[in-house]
């Protein structure tokens, strides 16, 4: 209940006139109507008033001199005022753009409360809610002049606070305030006589802080249209109120304070007090033309708002005093501009909250208010000031239109198949968000608006159908649709603005089986009986293919493919037991397959694995095992999992396969031109004229040459790998891959990644050549050339026919060569080569190291030829040659009659012949043979050559001639030619016989019981330990024989043919010598039997 008024005054609805004392900052209308009404001036004695005094009891306040007061004196009648000027709030709102804000956004400040610190509020005024309390606009307050909770704006000196309140939030037609939906709090700091104290103002500010959240809607702004007269500061001044101002500012509350009306007194920029506080927003007053009012104090930190001749609410006693609270009056001053800014701050805050600002402060609002304000030049000061522009301030904050606002610009939801969702905002009162779509099938579409915020109330429209609205908030809108038809739905608000989530759902009446999202699928043993429909969805952009496969005798099956608009995009007539439809689809695009016919056993292949970007075809695999194929030509043919696509070569330059997961396989085939294939683990390419096909993540790869001079490069893995190279193919495989190339002219294989890698080569039916180096192996023949690098081991099989030749080359280290009649092996550090079945092999040992060659005979007759530079062994079906080896050995153990031939070097050579083996060596070579039936040696190259023979355990025969020496026995036969010296040791056993033959020159034969020697020009043969020796001198020359006894009893027999000397264990015989001498020098009892000799015979010593 309002307090009963102490007095009633007979006011006719005029302007209040402020005395020349401490006053509020409302200036009389005469301030801008020239001299018709008296101007006010401020008491200079109050400029330095101490604001720190404590509030005193009300009695003291009544007895004390007030800080400011208001008192009516001269007034004008309402008609007199209207004759001079008239400005409703509505016209003021036109200048600030508020009317456009209301029309576009409908912001009224609802949800906030503004505190009016003034003379109170006549809360019974119909435009201010008609009462006091939680159910009214004026939700509460306090009277600091009377210390009670009834802040009514009482006379006789009131009405100022009510006028201010109407500017902030009055709600009545053209007199509507700035924020007509805001709640108000009245804090009365002027008593009935118009007197006020700063201590009351201080208490009121403290009250705002304490009660800011006590009401349904929080206090977000405070207005102070008051000040101390005679004050004009050009800089910020801190007063005792600043503690309260700073606290409210920290609370996020906007503090609007009138700048003051004393510009005419000072003629210089400045602000009144407390407008000069750094913690408040000072407000200047402008006239209807937007220029500063002559009375308004001004400063570049202030913001200007309408304040001259403002019509707003006043108490009944200031109006017609008829007992009805419906009165208005025109007031002027910065007191009228300040509440305008207070109301504007509420609207800006409301817009900021709408768009999601957090932690909104006075500075946030003030900065934005100034950033969007209208600048104007003040002629009085030649300074530029800023005037509130609410339309710009609000519009700058609000979101732009997110969806089309006309039927023509409707947002396209595309083909509606199930449910699609969008988030949006109704950002203006006239905003309509339009959404268009195409129905994929017959059925019912329902639009559902969910999570609507703020004042949003759903409103719907639809073109092309009639809809039904349902739900407590009209949030649902449903209508029937026809497949393939287009529809546009409009969504707007019948209330205010707000955000929303929108879902559009099609409930189809169309019956089909959903085959789901397709990358690749196979469906088997399905029955077709009439017409059936299936839905498919593309998993990626590319060709979507559906194939049916069936036995034609069981009935024909035809396929047709429709898009989501039920428009046919492909048809496939049955032919040869298949029917197929294709379409190039976008990712997620839906289609419907129509199957017509009759057949009880139909298989389907569904594929969406091939896409095209420019001139590149991309083929992707599934998570399972996939099979791919590529055939190059004038039309490139691509197959994936049995589904084939063809592309003109002129349109496609690149084809890329990606197997993905699973154990995948691909076959690539080139053209008749020249192409290059490169196969690496996980990455393969085939490059030809005008195209490149590549594959990745495919484990099993086969590349076919199309017939040109094609080259294939294969690369190993980091693990153990195997190469199988044939004239028509090369296969490299390991634990994670299997790569094959076929019919390439040249195949190059690289084993550089690691592991123990093995290569196997096979010959052709023609003549083949195999060349092996430590780091690589090459095999080639008619139409092929295979090379392998870096393999740890290589083997070759030459079984197909032709005359095949293998060539080996040594490393810089020590190498070993093992040659058999069936196979040849060569190995060294980091390599191991084996060949089987070659007709001929040759080895060059020139790189360095100590190299050894080992030969083995066959079961047939074999020939071994050893020279200082090379060694050859051959037999039936094989021929092995080594060059430059440091040592060679031969084993002849397999059978046959094996012959070894040795040749000396130009240097000194040594030949050692035993019954089991023969060795010949010299500078840089060493050759040994075992088990040969016969060995021959030719010493013709030069040097001093020596041959050494050793007997066997059986009976051996030694035949020594001047130009050759032969020794043979059971299982062996050794012959040397041209040696400078030969020696024989007969120590192993048996009855051994040595035969010597002279040369054509003069020869000497010397025989002892343990040895025999015969020598002449160019030869010297010595035999040891023979049981019998025979020397034949028949070739010519003057030959001489010297026979020497043993230490035992010896006997000499001389006849015409010759003589022999024998004794224990020996018998030395000479024939045809010109002179024979028997020498007894070793002892024993020696006898001589000499008969009819025709040569010189001499006995030396004691013979009986």
Q: Catalytic amino acids?
A: 118, 160, 335
* Strand-strand pairing, 443-450 and 476-481: antiparallel
Does an H or E element contain 63, and which? helix 58-63
Tell me which residue of 1100, 1104, 1096 sits closest to 1070, measured CA to CA: 1096
Structure-token match 């018998």, residue found: 1067
Tell me which residue of 852, 781, 794, 861 sits closest to 821, measured CA to CA: 861
Asked whether 997 and 960 are in contact (CB, 8 A), the reply is: yes
What angle do the packed helices 362-371 and 334-354 form, to 10 degrees? Answer: 100
Q: What are the tokens at 823? A: 């196979």
Asked whether 29 and 309 are in contact (CB, 8 A), the reply is: yes
- For 479, counting Cβ atoms within 10 Å of its Cβ (0-12 exposed, 13-18 middle, 19+ buried), the class is middle
Give how far the C-alpha of residue 490 lies from the chain's centroid of Cα atoms, to the nearest Å.
42
- First-last CA distance in the chain: 186
DSSP code of 317?
G
Asked whether 710 and 674 are in contact (CB, 8 A), the reply is: yes
Asked whether 1099 and 1052 are in contact (CB, 8 A), the reply is: yes
* Strand-strand pairing, 972-977 and 934-938: parallel
- Distance CA(546)–CA(558), nearest Å, equals 11
Query: Is the bond leading into 743 cis (omega within 30 degrees of zero)?
Result: no
Does an H or E element contain 1078, and which? strand 1075-1079
- Distance CA(1058)–CA(482), nearest Å, equals 140
DSSP letters along 695-725, please? EES-SEEEEE--SSS-EEEEE--SS--EEEE
Asked whether 845 and 885 are in contact (CB, 8 A), the reply is: yes
Q: Which residues contact 859 (CB under 8 A, 6 or more apart)?
A: 821, 894, 895, 896
Q: How would you label 78-94 residue by residue, b for 16+ Cβ within 10 Å and e otherwise? A: beebeebeebbbebbbe
- Distance CA(27)–CA(889), nearest Å, equals 132
Q: Which residues contact 1042 (CB under 8 A, 6 or more apart)?
A: 1004, 1005, 1006, 1007, 1077, 1079
- Distance CA(908)–CA(886), nearest Å, equals 16
Asked whether 954 and 990 are in contact (CB, 8 A), the reply is: yes
Asked whether 845 and 851 are in contact (CB, 8 A), the reply is: yes
Angle at 737 between CA 732 and CA 740, to 5 degrees: 40
Residue 796: HSE in the Cβ half-sphere, 13 Å Cα cutoff: 34
Q: Is 261 helix (H, G, I), strand (E, B) or coil?
A: coil
CA 302 vs CA 118, 236, 507, 586: distances in Å: 21, 11, 61, 59
Phi, psi of 960 (to 5 degrees): -115, 120
- Distance CA(1040)–CA(1056), nearest Å, equals 15
CA 236 vs CA 233, 308, 378, 844: distances in Å: 7, 26, 21, 105
Asked whether 127 and 166 are in contact (CB, 8 A), the reply is: yes
- Distance CA(7)–CA(856), nearest Å, equals 145
Strands (E), 225-302: 228-233, 254-258, 271-273, 281-286
């Amino acid at each position: 209940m309002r307090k009963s008024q102490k007095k009633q005054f007979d006011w006719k609805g005029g302007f209040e006139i402020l005395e020349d004392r401490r006053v509020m900052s409302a200036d009389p209308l005469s301030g801008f109507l020239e001299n018709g009404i008296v101007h006010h001036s401020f008491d200079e004695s109050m400029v330095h008033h101490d604001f720190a005094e404590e509030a005193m009891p009300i009695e003291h306040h009544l007895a004390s001199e007030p800080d400011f007061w208001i008192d009516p004196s001269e007034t004008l009648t309402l008609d007199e005022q209207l004759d001079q000027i008239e400005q409703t709030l509505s016209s003021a709102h036109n200048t600030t753009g508020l009317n456009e804000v209301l029309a576009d956004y409908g912001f009224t400040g609802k949800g906030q409360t503004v505190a009016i610190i003034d003379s109170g509020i006549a809360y019974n005024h119909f435009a201010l809610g008609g009462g006091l309390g939680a159910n009214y606009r004026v939700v509460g307050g306090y009277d600091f002049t009377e210390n009670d909770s009834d802040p009514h704006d009482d006379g006789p000196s009131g009405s100022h606070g009510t006028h201010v309140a109407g500017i902030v939030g009055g709600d009545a037609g053209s007199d509507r305030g700035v924020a007509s939906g805001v709640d108000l709090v009245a804090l009365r700091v002027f008593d009935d006589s118009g007197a006020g104290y700063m201590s009351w103002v201080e208490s009121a500010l403290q009250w705002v802080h304490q009660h800011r959240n006590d009401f349904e809607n929080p206090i977000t702004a405070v207005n102070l249209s008051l000040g101390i007269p005679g004050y004009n500061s050009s800089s910020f001044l801190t007063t005792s109120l600043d503690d309260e101002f700073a606290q409210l500012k920290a609370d996020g509350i906007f503090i609007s304070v009138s700048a003051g009306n004393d510009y005419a007194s000072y003629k210089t920029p400045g602000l009144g007090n407390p407008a000069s506080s750094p913690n408040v927003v000072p407000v200047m007053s402008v006239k209807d033309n937007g220029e500063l009012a002559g009375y308004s104090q001004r400063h570049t930190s202030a913001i200007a708002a309408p304040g001259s001749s403002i019509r707003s609410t006043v108490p009944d006693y200031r109006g017609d005093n008829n007992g009805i609270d419906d009165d208005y009056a025109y007031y002027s001053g910065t007191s009228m501009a300040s509440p305008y800014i207070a109301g504007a701050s509420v609207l800006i805050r409301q817009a900021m909250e709408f768009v999601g600002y957090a932690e909104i402060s006075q500075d946030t609002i003030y900065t934005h208010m100034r950033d969007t304000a209208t600048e104007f030049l003040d002629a009085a000061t030649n300074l530029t000031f800023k005037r509130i522009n609410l339309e710009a301030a609000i519009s700058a904050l609000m979101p732009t239109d997110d969806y089309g606002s006309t039927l023509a610009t409707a947002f396209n939801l595309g083909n509606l198949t199930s449910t699609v969702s969008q988030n949006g905002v109704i950002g203006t009162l006239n905003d309509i968000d339009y959404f268009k779509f195409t129905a994929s099938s017959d059925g019912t579409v329902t639009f559902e608006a969910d999570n609507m915020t703020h004042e949003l109330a759903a409103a719907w429209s639809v073109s092309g159908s009639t809809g039904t609205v349902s739900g407590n908030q009209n949030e649902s809108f449903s209508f029937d649709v026809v497949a393939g038809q287009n529809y546009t739905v409009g969504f707007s608000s019948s209330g205010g603005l707000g955000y929303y989530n929108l879902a559009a759902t099609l409930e189809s009446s169309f019956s089909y089986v959903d085959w789901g999202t397709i990358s690749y699928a196979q469906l088997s043993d399905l029955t077709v009986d009439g017409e059936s429909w299936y839905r498919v969805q593309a998993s990626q952009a590319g060709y979507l293919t559906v194939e049916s496969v069936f036995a034609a005798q069981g009935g024909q099956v035809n396929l047709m493919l429709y898009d989501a608009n039920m428009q046919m995009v492909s048809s496939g007539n049955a032919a040869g037991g298949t029917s197929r439809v294709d379409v190039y689809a976008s990712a997620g695009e839906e289609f419907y397959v129509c199957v017509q016919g009759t057949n009880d056993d139909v298989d389907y292949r569904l594929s969406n694995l091939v896409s095209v970007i420019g001139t590149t075809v991309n083929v992707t695999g599934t998570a399972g095992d996939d099979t791919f194929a590529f055939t190059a030509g004038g039309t490139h043919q691509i197959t994936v999992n049995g589904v084939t696509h063809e592309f003109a070569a002129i349109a496609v330059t690149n084809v890329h396969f990606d197997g993905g997961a699973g154990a995948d396989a691909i076959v690539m085939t080139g053209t008749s031109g020249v192409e290059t294939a490169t196969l690496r683990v996980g990455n393969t390419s085939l490059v030809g004229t005008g195209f490149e096909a590549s594959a990745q993540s495919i484990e099993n790869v086969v590349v076919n040459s199309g017939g040109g001079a094609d080259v294939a490069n294969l690369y190993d893995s980091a693990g153990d790998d195997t190469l199988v190279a044939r004239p028509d193919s090369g296969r490299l495989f390991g634990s994670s891959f299997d790569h094959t190339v076929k019919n390439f002219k040249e195949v190059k294989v690289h084993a550089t990644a690691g592991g123990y890698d093995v290569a196997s080569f096979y010959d052709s039916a023609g003549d083949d050549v195999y060349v092996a180096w430590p780091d690589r192996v090459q095999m080639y023949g008619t139409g092929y050339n295979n090379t392998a690098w870096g393999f740890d081991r290589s083997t070759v099989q030459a079984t197909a026919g032709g005359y095949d030749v293998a060539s080996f080359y040594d490393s810089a280290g020590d190498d070993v060569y093992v040659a058999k009649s069936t196979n040849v092996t060569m190995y060294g550090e980091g390599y191991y080569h084996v060949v089987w079945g070659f007709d001929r092999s040759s080895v060059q040992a020139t790189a360095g190291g100590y190299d050894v060659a080992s030969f083995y005979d066959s079961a047939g007759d074999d020939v071994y030829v050893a020279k200082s530079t090379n060694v050859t062994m051959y037999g039936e079906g094989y021929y092995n040659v080594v060059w430059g080896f440091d040592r060679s050995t031969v084993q002849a153990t397999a059978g046959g009659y094996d012959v070894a031939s040795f040749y000396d070097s130009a240097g000194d050579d040594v030949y050692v012949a035993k019954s089991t083996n023969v060795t010949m060596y010299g500078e840089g070579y060493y050759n040994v043979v075992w088990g040969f039936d016969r060995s021959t040696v030719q010493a013709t190259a030069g040097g001093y050559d020596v041959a050494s023979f050793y007997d066997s355990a059986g009976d051996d025969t030694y035949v020594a001639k001047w130009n050759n020496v032969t020794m043979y026995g059971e299982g062996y036969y050794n012959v040397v030619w041209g040696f400078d010296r030969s020696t024989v040791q007969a120590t192993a056993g048996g009855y051994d016989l040595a035969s010597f033959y002279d040369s054509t020159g003069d020869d000497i034969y010397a025989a002892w019981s343990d040895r025999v020697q015969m020598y002449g020009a160019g030869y010297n043969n010595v035999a040891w330990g023979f049981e019998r020796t025979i020397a034949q001198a028949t070739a010519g020359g003057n030959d001489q024989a010297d026979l020497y006894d043993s230490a035992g009893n010896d006997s000499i027999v001389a006849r015409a043919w010759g003589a022999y000397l024998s004794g224990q264990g020996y018998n030395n015989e000479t024939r045809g010598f010109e002179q024979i001498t028997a020498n007894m020098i070793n002892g024993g009892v020696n006898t001589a039997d000499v008969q009819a000799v025709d040569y010189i015979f001499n006995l030396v010593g004691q013979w009986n």
